[in-house]
Amino acid sequence: MAFPTTINRIDDMHLHLRDGPILASLTKQIPSYVARAIIMPNLKPPVVNTEQALAYRDRIIAGLPEGSSFEPLMTLYMTDKTTPDEIVRAKESGKVFAVKLYPAGATTNSDSGVTDLKLLTKTFEKMAEVGMPLCVHSEVTDKTIDIFDREKEFLGRHLKDVIESNPNLKVILEHITTKEAADFVNSYGPNVAATITCHHLLFNRNAIFEGGIRPHMYCLPILKQEIDRQSLLGAIKSGSPKFFAGTDSAPHIQERKESSCGCAGVYTQHAALEFYTKAFAEADCLQHLEAFTSINGAKFYGLPRVSGQVTIEAKDWVVPDSYPLGDSKVIPLMCGETLPYKAKDQN
């Protein structure tokens, strides 16, 4: 692929927009080349029912810049008490596109998450029946399990049974980070897929400790070994439709990252397509970029392809040191560094 090159506008199938003053900042920072995004529901309090999801959608749309065509695709936050009836209401709304499973305590604002998957047997069955996808944060919370092993432990201990008990249920492993997760997705049929973040494609766990502790590189699931990163690169190089873009852009104000107990999350919303382009270029598989960012996710979710195009140029630019975030600021991925690609809308 030669530059400049033009592709369809993109779908971000995993995005955190937060709420309140932070939401007001983030809606202004969504690149116009992002057409749609699956919006994460782990607010305080979490978005646990359809009424709350629709109200949150209204707040997002109200905060968008004039003329924006961005479409938020809403999700519900699964708890031990999520009912089959709530799944039906969500599906019938036409605005809720998935249900997110957070194991309780696994990541930011997940304390209200699921403690026992067996409590949700009927709910999973109803999701399969009505065609409501399940998005999964695939990590165990057992403190005896090493933080670098929590994803692969979850797959065999918990997720395997859910998938095999519900063969018609569409399941998305969110932000996969390990060789085992990539292999797991490939071992099942077309109803099992995965999102991959740009930072897990670009960096391994050494980036957290380069020259000292790098709090803005800390995320959950945490960056893994180089062998795992190479497996993720192998997934995108394969061109498989089972893998697609989901940035998991997860902003926190600077003070909450640079503290004695810093929050997990990497902010990538500001340059999602540029980061993915860099990863695909370095992996020598730019021919698969458009499918990964603009086609595979939509097809898996049963959505039409978006309209509009974006042109990517081979053009150096320096990532700002920070962006506004509520009353503070957020430090973006690769702040102060040069990115070799720049994207702009065509229509």
Catalytic residue set: 248
CA distance 207 to 147: 16
Cα angle vertex 203, ends 197, 208, to 5°?
Answer: 110
Q: Measure CA of the first residue to CA of the last residue in the chain; give whole Å.
A: 21
CA-to-CA distance for 212 and 258, rounded, in angstroms? 13
Strand pairing class (96-101; 134-136): parallel
Amino acid letter, 230? Q
318: enclosing H helix or E strand = strand 309-318
Strands 243-245 and 192-196: parallel
d(CA 333, CA 91): 35
Q: Where are the beta strands (DSSP E) in 178-220?
A: 192-196
Q: What Å distances lie between residue 100 and 10, 14, 131, 312, CA to CA?
A: 21, 10, 14, 32
Give the integer Cα–Cα distance in Å for 56 and 1. Answer: 40
Q: In the structure encoding, which two tokens stand for residue 307, read together?
A: 């309209």
